[in-house]
Structure 1
Amino acid sequence: MKEFIMNQEKLAKLQAQVRIGGKGSARRKKKVVHRTASADDKKLQFSLKKLGVNNISGIEEVNMFTNQGTVIHFNNPKVQASLAANTFTITGHAENKQLTEMLPGILNQLGADSLTSLRRLAETLPKPAGDKAPMVTVDEEEEDDDVPGMYNHKSLLDYLINFNIISKEKA
C-alpha cells in the first residue's frame, strides 16, 4: 500500500509539470524542447542563402547611430548584401558606445543631425572650474614634443565640429 501512495505522488508531480493552465485545464502531449541559438542561426543563414546574399569584403568597421546619442559599433564584421532583395546583414560582435567615446575618428561619418546632437551633448558635459581654463596644462619644456595641450570639452568639440563643416564645404 505504501508503494501505491508513492506512485500516486510521483504521478501527480508529473501531471503538474505538463499542465498549461490552472486546475481543470488541458494538458500538453509532450514537453516542448526549446531550440538553441545555433539552430536559429542556421535557419537565418538558410533564409539568407535563399535570398542570394553575397559577402562584401574589405569592411573593417560598421557604426550605427541611434537617436539616443549612442553608437552600435561592429569591429571587423561580416557584411552580406542582396541588392535585388534590398537586404543587408551585419554579423559580428556589437558594442554599444557613447558618441563621445568614438571621437574624433567618427566625425567624418556624422550627418547634420548628429552634429547638432553632438553640440548639445558638449553643452551638457561638466565644465571645469574655469570656463576657458585648459584641463591639462603643457609645460614650456614639453612644447618641443609633438604633444599638444588638451582644452576643455566644449572648445575642443566646437573646434572639431567646425573643422568637419569646413572640410565638407571644401569638398
Structure 2
Amino acid sequence: MNAEKLAKLQAQVRIGGKGTPRRKAKKVSGKSSGDDRKLSAALQKLNVQPIPGVDEVNMFKDDGKVIHFSHPRVSAAPSANTFAIHGRSAEKELAELIPNIINQLGPDSMAALKKLAESFQAAQGENAGAAAGADDDEIPDLVESFEKADVEDKAEEKKEESA
C-alpha cells in the first residue's frame, strides 16, 4: 500500500464499531439546552408570568458594586416570591451608575453612597493640598519689587569691579 493512502486513511475518524462507515468529522448538536429545559420546567411549576416593559435591573451588593442587567427578560411568581431575570449582566461600580439609579437607592445603598462621596471628597482634598504644597515649595514669595533688586545687583557689581 502507498504511504500517502495509508496516511489519508489514518486521518479519517471511525465513529462506532466494526462495519460502520467512516466519517470525516463527528457531528455536534447545535444546542445543549438541558439546563434551560430544567429551569423552564421548574419555573412553569411555580406559574411564573413574564413582566413586560422592564428596561434595566440593578442588584446592589454589600461591597458597593452593582450587578446591572440592560433590557432583561423578567418573569415573576408573586405567590412563590420568585423572580427570574434572564439576560446579559455586567458588574459595575456604584459611581458609574449614580445619575441613572439615584431614585432606586434604598437606605443601605444610600449609606454606601455617602461613604463613596466622603472618600471622593477626601481624595479631592488630598490632591488639592498636595498640589498647593508643591506650588509653595517651588515658587518663593515675592518680598521686594524687581526694580529695587536690580538696582542692588548693579551696585554690588560695581563694588566687585572696583575692588
User: Aligned runs of 1:1-171 on 2, under 5 Å?
Assistant: 38-125=33-120, 126-127=123-124, 129-130=127-128
Residue 38 of structure 1, CA deviation: 2.5
Q: TM-score, normalised by structure 1?
A: 0.52
Aligned to 2:151: none
The code of the aligned residue for 1:71 comes to: V
The code of the aligned residue for 1:99 comes to: L
Aligned to 2:22: none
The code of the aligned residue for 1:127 comes to: Q
Aligned-partner SS, 1:62: strand
Q: Any gaps of 5 or more consecutive residues in structure 1?
A: 1-35, 134-171
| Matches of 1:88 and 1:71, distance apart in 2 | 18
Structure 1 residue ranges, 4+ long, deviating more than 4 angstroms after superposition = none
Q: TM-score, normalised by structure 2?
A: 0.54
Q: Any gaps of 5 or more consecutive residues in structure 2?
A: 1-30, 132-163
Query: How many percent of aligned residue pairs carry the same amino acid?
Result: 47
In the TM superposition, what whole-angstrom CA distance separates every residue of 1:92-133 from its partner, at most 9, and x where no partner exists?
1011000001021111111122112111112223326327x9
**Higher mean displacement: 118-127 or 93-102:** 118-127
Residue 37 of structure 1, CA deviation: 6.3
Could you say which structure has the higher helix fraction? 2
User: How many residues are paired up?
Assistant: 97
